[in-house]
Amino acid sequence: MKFPRILLALVLVFGISCKKEDNQAAIDSIIGHWHILDFQPDANSPENESQLAKLAIAELIARPCDPLEYTFKSNGAVIYKDAMKYLDISMGDNGVEVECASKSDLINGTFDFDGSNLTVDYIDGQSYSFAAALEGENFTVRVSDLSVNGVLLQGKLIFMRETDVHN
């Protein structure tokens, strides 16, 4: 009876260590500073605000004035910058009208990434899990709470890495 128990214990230890190594490879793949590139709204996301979000993000990154950023560090720390809720976005005669936000939320915490899910634990005690993936050169995060003019949108945020420098 001891042999099956020892074998089971070895299989569990090996399985857990392999999973941790796989998880570490996924974490290493996103280490760095990521800037928002695009927003792809879900079909059920409010159409007018979704279009404003897409246009505003495009306008702001062209300046450059990034309203959303992630910094993932090799020690497991994360910094998230969110200025979207501080933007006043509207359509004018010449297209989208938006100015760089005068402030943003900088939220610190820790993260875990397994290749398909991003979990972020912020120092204020809040924890969030998102479907996320590294897709080619882009990092995508599915959200259900992107705030534009006080309206919450759902969809996929697409980020691009600033440089290949790992933090």
**In which residue ranges of the chain is pLDDT below 70?**
1-22, 163-167
Per-residue pLDDT at 43? 93
Per-residue pLDDT at 6? 52
Q: What is the CATH number of domain 20-161?
A: 2.40.128.280
CA-to-CA dists, residue 4 to 9, 10, 17, 18, 156, angstroms: 9, 10, 20, 21, 47
What is d(CA 59, CA 55) in angstroms, rounded to the nearest whole number?
Answer: 6
List the chain domain ranges: 20-161
What is the pTM for the complete model shown? Answer: 0.81
